[in-house]
Amino acid sequence: MNKSIFTILTFVLVLFAVEFSYAGNPDRQGEAGAAQLLMNPWARSAGLHTLNTANISGLEAVRLNVAGLARLNQTEIVIGHTRYFDGTGTNLNAIGFGSKMGDNSAIGVSIMAVSLEDIDVTTTDQPQGTGGTYSPSLFNLALSYSHIFENKISVGFTFRAVSESLTDVSASAMAIDAGVQYVTGDDDNFKFGISLRNIGTKMSFRGQGLSQGAENPSGELPYTLEYFQRSQAFELPSMLNIGASYDFVLDPRNTLTVLGNFTSNSFSQDQIGAGLEYAFDKKFMLRAAYKYEFGTGDAEMAPIYTGLAAGVSFDVPMSKESGTRFGVDYAYRHTRLWNGTHNISIRFNL
């Protein structure tokens, strides 16, 4: 039964992989919405440019490859804050909870909200501003489940609710992520992963803000009619990730991990990248990665992220008896404009 489930899920992911390999179309770039689904609020994976599809584990896996959720120890709580494109006033705030269910399964819940600076309200009559302000609300909630088969193969699913709104208009959607991880080698040092993200319903804005008053077109009687404009629906930024990693165990306390990843985007250019992570005694970690986006020869069309990311983690035991650990993660991603993106996360492993 377990092997049948894995075979079916792998077959579905391969079909999607073939479809995505032909679906990427530069002419569709910019047509998707809900860009919040591409933002990573977790520092540990951000320090690797979110390239660790193959070996990501614990709660952060919910954002990249949910199959890794089942590889957490018992219970994990992570709080993340991100200064996104520092200088724009955009911040990400996230909190997540993951817990084991038996020996081989885990569930997770995570929430992410995007905070933007206040924007001046302008009208055709007052283009310099009315004195009022507004701030968009961007929010998503994820519920995840992951299971390990025979300690080698893990699969997982995430169901995500997405919401975007202003004072008088709003849009919402449902999305699903799916992923597989495979671990092999004498010391489980080779890992392979595939994940599909943001496959879901279209979004369309609705609300009172799309209404407009106009005079009676006949002109016979002086009264006003109210018209509602229909908003064009847009799709979610779906993508496919394929990654692999290898752990070089230098000695019982030192490990060096090499990883690579390919991302096929339905509504933007494809990406490829590689990274390194060094771990000392599972208490101190350094990481760095480089990501390249295809078709970026034109400087004006170059991505905001210029390729480099780096991060550091400290993970220390709080109690030897209970196994409770406390960790702090930091990541920096260089950007072509503004002052980069800064992530910081605090984690508790209970």
The pair of three-digit structure tokens given for residue 42, joined into one six-digit string:
């977790």
| pLDDT on residue 158 | 95
Report the amino acid identity of residue 291.
K
Element (H, E) at 214: strand 211-215
Residue 148's domain is classified under what CATH number?
A: 2.40.160.60
What's the number of domains the chain is made of?
1
CA distance 49 to 59: 17
User: % helix / strand / coil in the chain, to the nearest 5?
Assistant: 15, 50, 35
| pLDDT on residue 22 | 46
| pLDDT on residue 12 | 59
Provide the residue count of the chain.
350
Range of the domain at 247: 2-119+134-349
Residue 61 lies in a domain: yes
CA 58 to chain centre: 14
- Which mean pLDDT values do the consecutive 10-residue runs of the chain (350 residues) have? 54 54 58 89 96 95 95 93 93 96 93 91 84 89 93 91 91 93 90 93 88 73 75 90 95 95 89 95 94 75 83 88 87 92 95
Residue 49 lies in a domain: yes
| pLDDT on residue 50 | 95
| pLDDT on residue 21 | 46
Residue 56 lies in a domain: yes
Residue 128 lies in a domain: no
Residue 129 lies in a domain: no
Residue 126 lies in a domain: no
Point out which residues pair with 106 in neighbouring strands: 100, 146
| pLDDT on residue 1 | 45
| pLDDT on residue 149 | 86
CB contact at 8 A, 62 and 142: yes
Which of 86, 31, 24, 26 minimizes the C-alpha distance to 301?
26
CA distance 18 to 25: 14
| pLDDT on residue 248 | 95
CB contact at 8 A, 56 and 48: no
Element (H, E) at 290: strand 284-293
Residue 36 lies in a domain: yes
Point out which residues pair with 76 in neighbouring strands: 98, 349
Residue 327 lies in a domain: yes
